[in-house]
Structure 1
Amino acid sequence: MITFEQMRIFLAVAEREHLTEAAKALLLTPSAVSSAIHMIEEHYQVRLFNRIGRRIQLSDAGSVFVEDCRHTLAQVKLAETTLREFSGLKRGALGLYASQTIANYFLPPVIAKFRNLYPAITVKMSIGNTEQVENAVLSGVTDIGFAEGTIKNESLHRQKVADDELFIIAAKNHPLTTKPSVKFQDISAFPWILRENGSGTRAIFEQALANHGYDFTDLEVMQTFPSNEAVLSAVAASNALTAISKRAVSALLAAGLVERLNFLSVKRDFLLLLNPQRFKTKAVGAFIGLLES
C-alpha cells in the first residue's frame, strides 16, 4: 500500500520533473527518491514518468495521480493542523458532569473563567446525582466528574476541590427555630423532605447520623425530590425539615424565608473525579489547573 511519504516524494518529483532537484528539496539521496518512485510503479504495475533521455515527464497515469496526491496530502495537512489546534487549546470540547450543588453553586465562575481563557473550547455540562456522575466518569461519557459523598469505585482518581457543609433547615417560624439547641428527638418529631437516593447530600446526611449514633430510619421521610430547589420550596411551605448544602440555601437564609437549626454540623468535600484509564486532554489539564490556582 502506498504511504504518505511516497506520495510526498512522488509529488516533489512531479513538480520539478527532476529526481536530483526533488531529492535536494526533500533532503534525501537521489537513490532514495528513485527507489520510492520505483516501488510505487512496481506495486501497481504502472508507469508514473516517461524517461526521455536524461529528462523525465509525467505519464498519463502520473498526471492523474498528481491531483490525487495533492488532494490527499492537503487533507493530511488539515488533519495535522486540527490535532495541533486541539493540543494547543485552539479547538476542542470538554465534558463536565457534576452533582447539582456543585454544578449550580461552585462550577459556574470556574467555567466562565475557562471560557474567557479558551473561547474555542466547547464546554458541555451535564447534571445528575453523585451516583450518575460516578457512572458517567467510569463509562467515559464525560471527561471530568464532580461529586460529593461516598465514591464507590476505588479505581477512580479523586481530588478535593472545595469544602462544603450541610445545614439542617426549617421554614421561617417553625416550632424548632426558637430552640437554641435541637436534639434528635426534636427533629424526629417532624416530617422530612430530602434529595433522592443516590444523591451525595442524602448519603452524607445518613452517614453523619449513623456516625453520631442516630438511626436514619427513625425519621419520617414524607417526600424526596431530585433537585435542591424543589426540596427548599417544599420545606419553606411546610413544617418539614431538610438537610441541604449551605451553598444551596444561602440566598433563602439571607432573605429570611427559612432558618437553620442548631443540630449536627456536617462537613463534606467537593471531589473532582477522573478515570485514570482515559487520556487526559490539554483541555482537561487546563480546567484542573484553574481549579488548583
Structure 2
Amino acid sequence: MADQHLFVFVTVAEMENFSRAAEQLHMTQPAVSQYIRMLEQTVGARLLDRSNKYVRLTKAGEIVYHHAKEIIGLYTRMQNLVDDLSNKASGSLAIGASYTFGEYVLPHIIAELKRQYPDIHPMITIGNTKEIADKVSGRLLDVGIVEGEVRLPQLRQEPIADDAMFIITSPRSRWAVESQVTVHDLQSETWIVREAGSGTREAADNLFAAIPMVPLHLLEFGSTQLIKEAVEAGLGISLLSKWTVRKELALRSLCIVNVQGTPYTRKFSLIRQETPFYTKAMELFCELTVKHMAALDRRASQGGALAESDR
C-alpha cells in the first residue's frame, strides 16, 4: 500500500473526525493520532486544526491532502497495471462523467460492465465538464466522459458519439404548436441555462454566438433536473440533450420547438491522461463505452428521424 501515513491522513481529512477515521481504518484512535503526528513532524507543519466538534485542514494540510490523493491514486494505478500482467481485469476504476452522460447514459454502461467484469469496481463522480476534466487532469479520476471541447494538453480526448440537442418548451407554450420557428423569434423568451463550465451551457453559448443572438432574459440553474422542472412550469425555454428529456417527451410534459437549424449537435468524448500505460480495467471500460454508443447510434439510424410524437 502507498505510504500508510498519507492514507491515514487522507481518511481523517475526509471523515473530519478521528473516531470515524479510526473505525473506517480498523485502527485505534491513538494509533491514528500517532500517524498524524509523525506525518506532521515529517513535513514540518501542522496539517489539521482539531476541536471537540470537528477536524479541519490547515493551509499546509490542504497542500498535503491534494498531493496525497494524487500519490495514492498513482500507487493504485501502478499496482493495477502490475496486476494486469495476470490478464485478469480487476480492481477499482474511478470514472467521472458530466451530468447529461452521467445521469442518463452511464448507468446502463456500468450495469453491463458489472455483468461482464464483476471484479472491476467502478467509483462514479458526476460533475460539469470542467470539473471532470480538472479531476482527470489532476489524476483524481482515471477516465471521464464529457460534453463539448476540453482544452487541456495533458489529456487525450476521443469523441465517441454525437449528442443531438433541441430547444424545449412547456406544452402550454405557444411555441409548442408553431410549425416553424427561428431562433431569433425566441430572443425575447427567458432562456434557462446551466452554469459556466457545463458542457450544456457551452452548447447554448455556441448556439447564441453562431446565430448571432443575445438572449434578453437569462436564468442560470446548476441542475438539468431543475431546468426541466422550470421549463415544464412555463418559466422559460432551454437547449437540452434529447437524452435528458426522453421520458418527458414520451409523457408529453415537455415539447420540442420546431426551430430552424436544430438539433444542435455536439460530441460526447472520453478523456484520459496522455500516457502509454492504461489499466486493463480502464481499457475494457473505454471499449465497452465505445461499443455501447455505437449500438445506440445504429438503433437511432434504423429508427429514422425523430418521431413526430416526440415533437
> Shorter-chain-normalised TM-score: which range?
0.5 to 0.7
Correspondence 1:246 to 2:242 = yes
Aligned to 1:182: 181
What amino acid does structure 1 have at the position aligned with 2:248?
A: L
CA shift at 1:230, angstroms?
Answer: 1.0
Aligned to 2:279: 281
What is the TM-score normalised by the length of structure 2?
A: 0.63
Which of 225, 231, 245 does residue 227 from structure 2 map onto?
231
Query: Aligned partners of 1:81, 1:176: CA distance in 2, in Å?
Result: 54
Query: Aligned partners of 2:281, 2:274: CA distance in 1, in Å?
Result: 16
Offset from partner CA, 1:123-181 (integer Å, 9 cap, x none): 00100001111101110010101101121213321112222111101111202222111
What amino acid does structure 2 have at the position aligned with 1:131?
A: K
What amino acid does structure 2 have at the position aligned with 1:281?
A: T
CA shift at 1:219, angstroms?
Answer: 3.5
What amino acid does structure 2 have at the position aligned with 1:247?
A: W
CA RMSD of aligned residues (A): 2.1
Which of 216, 221, 239 does residue 219 from structure 1 map onto?
216
CA shift at 1:292, angstroms?
Answer: 3.3
Offset from partner CA, 1:160-204 (integer Å, 9 cap, x none): 222211110111120222211112332112112111111001101
What is the TM-score normalised by the length of structure 1?
A: 0.67
Query: Aligned partners of 1:189, 1:249: CA distance in 2, in Å?
Result: 23
Could you say which structure has the higher strand fraction? 1
State the aligned residue count. Answer: 211
User: Judging changes above 3 Å, is the alpha-carbon distance between structure 1 residues 285 and 189 closer, same or farther for their aligned structure 2 residues?
Assistant: same
Query: Aligned partners of 1:219, 1:134: CA distance in 2, in Å?
Result: 31
SS in 1 for 2:257: strand
What amino acid does structure 2 have at the position aligned with 1:220?
A: H
Query: Aligned partners of 2:244, 2:127: CA distance in 1, in Å?
Result: 15
CA contact (8 A) 1:170 1:239 kept: no
Query: Aligned partners of 2:161, 2:274: CA distance in 1, in Å?
Result: 21
SS in 2 for 1:280: coil
Aligned to 1:31: none
CA shift at 1:278, angstroms?
Answer: 7.5
CA shift at 1:83, angstroms?
Answer: 4.7
CA shift at 1:279, angstroms?
Answer: 3.6
Offset from partner CA, 1:76-129 (integer Å, 9 cap, x none): xxxx99953785335310010000111112211211111112212210010000
Query: Aligned partners of 2:228, 2:174: CA distance in 1, in Å?
Result: 17
Query: Aligned partners of 1:87, 1:229: CA distance in 2, in Å?
Result: 44
Task: Give ranges in structure 1 of 5+ residues lacking alignment.
Answer: 1-79
Query: Aligned partners of 2:220, 2:80: CA distance in 1, in Å?
Result: 51
User: Judging changes above 3 Å, is the alpha-carbon distance between structure 1 residues 287 and 82 closer, same or farther for their aligned structure 2 residues?
Assistant: closer
Aligned pairs for 1:1-293 (under 5 A) are 83-84=82-83, 87-89=86-88, 91-212=90-211, 214-215=212-213, 217-221=214-218, 223-263=219-259, 264-265=261-262, 266-277=264-275, 279-293=277-291
CA contact (8 A) 1:150 1:204 kept: no
Task: Give ranges in structure 2 of 5+ residues lacking alignment.
Answer: 1-78, 292-311
Query: Aligned partners of 1:206, 1:174: CA distance in 2, in Å?
Result: 23
Query: Aligned partners of 2:80, 2:149: CA distance in 1, in Å?
Result: 42
User: Judging changes above 3 Å, is the alpha-carbon distance between structure 1 residues 184 and 277 closer, same or farther for their aligned structure 2 residues?
Assistant: same
Aligned to 2:52: none
Which contiguous aligned blocks of 4+ residues in structure 1 show a shift greater than 4 angstroms? Answer: 80-83
CA contact (8 A) 1:190 1:239 kept: no
CA shift at 1:207, angstroms?
Answer: 0.9
CA contact (8 A) 2:81 2:280 kept: no
User: Judging changes above 3 Å, is the alpha-carbon distance between structure 1 residues 219 and 272 closer, same or farther for their aligned structure 2 residues?
Assistant: farther
Larger Rg computed on CA atoms: 1
CA shift at 1:208, angstroms?
Answer: 2.2
CA contact (8 A) 1:174 1:239 kept: no
